[in-house]
Structure 1
Amino acid sequence: MNKSILIIGACGQIGTELTLKLREINGEKAVIASDIHEGSNELMQSGPFELINAMDYDSILKVVEKYAINEVYLMAAMLSATGEKFPEKAWELNMNSLFNVLNLAKSGKIKKVFWPSSIAVFGPTTPKENTPQETVMEPSTVYGISKQAGERWCEYYFNKFGVDVRSIRYPGIISWKANPGGGTTDYAIEIFHKALQEGKYNSFLNKETKLPMMYIDDAIDATINIMDAKPEAIKIRSSYNLAGMSFTPHEVSEEIKKTIPNFEISYSPDFRQKIADSWPKSIDDSKAREDWGWNHKVDLEKMTTIMLENLSLKYDFNY
């Protein structure tokens, strides 16, 4: 069966690059991008695009039927920091969009669903180092609460209705192509922009806040790999832990200084510090590695080189 893929929330940080990669693999006509607004020129010009409100079941169904969609990647969500400002809106978007897609699969309209969870499902009582796949989960943000609830619903729909839904818990995602999108880990993107624009950065997290991170290419590979895996390889139907690297604002600033020696960093923790303090410092993702062969490729040093090389072209920065 040929793949016909719909990406909901294709204009976001991960959605844009996921769309482009899937079009590269499957052909531009096989991958339908959608969002509530239009995206970048690169996204819009690389293949079909439909305007969809992720909370509107009928608008999703219309596109599914129009293109005979058999796989849906639901990337639409309101992230952690933004969600704390608009808690009811965050809950409504994050949960209703998931129900819409799960119910499409339940009714047989689509065959396979990808839905991303997050390290935000963990909370202050979760073990911080090498956070296990199965552990205490008491999230303290609306985003985390919605993701934890979503994991339970994904597992329920698999057990009760046989819905082939697959999920991974993303750590902080770093990319030079997309602007920061309202997440607590987004300092790790902002810092590179500010280093090249101003030579300094004021971090909203403190010096020693260690968080799990991942370069976008690894996140895209993991997303596609879990969807390509045989159903019997997917032994966890809530969501898999996923890890790449863990570092602090101080550590990434020291890495930047190897290229930009005069770079300066200061610290003014804001409300996002409390969110970050509730999250793990490092993740045990051995289950993903065992079950479907996950393996990351980019470490802190390599990621820093990639970010600076690409963003220096954007800002016409010579070093």
Structure 2
Amino acid sequence: MSEYVLVTGAIGLIGHAVRTRLEDRGDKVIAIDRIATSIDGRDVLECDVTDAHGLHAIARRFPLRAIVHCGAFSGPMVSPDHPMQMIRVNVGGTANVGELARVIGGIRLVFASTATAYGATPKGPVPENTVMEPDSMYGASKAASEQILNAYKRQFGVDTVSIRLTWVYGPRRTTACLIRKMLTDAMAGRPTQIPYGRDFPRQYIHINDAADAMVAALDRPNLPQQAYNISGGSWLTLSEVAEAVMGVIPGARVEVLPGDDPGDMHQERFDISAAERDLGYRPKMSLERGVTSYFDWLKANGVTA
């Protein structure tokens, strides 16, 4: 009987990209999310990660060889005034997925974590053994989820690995994104003014590179670490990001004012050498190339905001 990869959060940016990567290379995938739908002709089954019985019912129907867990509230900007819901979905959902992997046995579980879990960082480069001190419920929920999966690994031998992604941008992102705002403003002939961030660093990663890293973590056997930093390889201030956008997008006009981002923490450059060593990960999408391809996608799909 064929074995499947279960991808949770398959409607989301990362989940859909991972699912597409896997199917395009010939893997059988069961894609689930809170609602049943179809994206680009690819069906998504209804199953919420908070529904433990539903998850086990899926596994009984489709024998699983691996899980890629992307199902969660996808950032600190999502439902910031509902912390208990964040905990229920992000932490409770991860525990349900970890338990599913334990019951099945002998399968790898790749978790889409986040660099936000670190909180503000000491001087870089920042390795994976840096103490996590998250300053948002979202970051805390991801840090807690990592610890739950680490405990499943230590106590029960579940093969888990967490991928700590930096700020993901690119086609199909629906939550707040400054790069998208710069590009859609350029499409409309509007100038963009960002009221903060002239000297504030942000480490963007294109969705293609993020998906590549998740799939690499699925494929590589006997990983020596339980977590890996994944970034696009650059450490730029928001004004430098704006300069890159203006350099490749005709008509883009972006002004970035001084001050820290009030919704983000200062983070130093993340060390991605362990991912290069163990996962064979190297970012392929420079910011300029990623911005250009994103701009083309936005125009082709009529995205205006």
TM-score, length-normalised on structure 1? 0.86
Contact 2:7 2:15 in 1 (8 A): yes
Q: CA deviation at 1:35?
A: 0.7
Alignment-derived partner of residue 26 in structure 2:
26
Contact 1:13 1:181 in 2 (8 A): no
**1:180 correspondence with 2:174:** yes
Give the secondary-structure state (helix, strand or coil) at the position aligned to 2:245. Answer: helix
Alignment-derived partner of residue 146 in structure 2:
151
**1:108 correspondence with 2:104:** yes
Alignment-derived partner of residue 84 in structure 1:
80
Name the CA shift for 1:188/1:31 in 2 (closer, same or farther; >3 Å). Answer: same
Which residue identity lines up with residue 19 of structure 1 in the other structure? R
Matches within 5 A, 1:162-201: 162-176=157-171, 178-182=172-176, 186-201=177-192
Name the CA shift for 1:117/1:8 in 2 (closer, same or farther; >3 Å). Answer: same
Q: Distance in 1 between matches of 2:180 and 2:162?
A: 24
Aligned mate of 2:89, from 86, 93, 115: 93
Name the CA shift for 1:261/1:49 in 2 (closer, same or farther; >3 Å). Answer: closer
Alignment-derived partner of residue 282 in structure 1:
269
Q: CA deviation at 1:41?
A: 3.5
**1:35 correspondence with 2:36:** no
Q: Distance in 1 between matches of 2:109 and 2:131?
A: 26
Q: CA deviation at 1:315?
A: 4.0
Contact 2:183 2:252 in 1 (8 A): no
Alignment-derived partner of residue 127 in structure 2:
132
Contact 2:242 2:256 in 1 (8 A): no
Q: CA deviation at 1:275?
A: 3.7
Percentage identity across paired residues of the two chains: 24
Alignment-derived partner of residue 208 in structure 2:
217
Q: Distance in 2 between matches of 1:261 and 1:217?
A: 24
Q: Distance in 2 between matches of 1:192 and 1:214?
A: 16
Alignment-derived partner of residue 61 in structure 2:
66
**1:302 correspondence with 2:297:** no
Identify the structure with the greater strand proportion.
2
User: Which has the larger displacement, 208-217 or 245-254?
Assistant: 245-254
Name the CA shift for 1:290/1:145 in 2 (closer, same or farther; >3 Å). Answer: same
Runs (5+) with no aligned partner, structure 1: none
Give the secondary-structure state (helix, strand or coil) at the position aligned to 1:114. Answer: strand
Aligned mate of 1:253, from 242, 252, 255: 242
Identify the structure with the greater helix proportion.
1
Q: CA deviation at 1:261?
A: 4.8
Q: Distance in 2 between matches of 1:69 and 1:316?
A: 36
Contact 2:11 2:33 in 1 (8 A): yes
User: Which has the larger displacement, 139-148 or 257-266?
Assistant: 257-266
Contact 2:192 2:253 in 1 (8 A): yes
Q: Distance in 2 between matches of 1:82 and 1:204?
A: 21
Runs (5+) with no aligned partner, structure 2: none
**1:273 correspondence with 2:261:** yes
Give the secondary-structure state (helix, strand or coil) at the position aligned to 1:85. Answer: coil
Q: CA deviation at 1:265?
A: 2.4
Contact 1:69 1:110 in 2 (8 A): no
Q: Distance in 2 between matches of 1:226 and 1:280?
A: 24
Aligned length, in residue pairs: 302
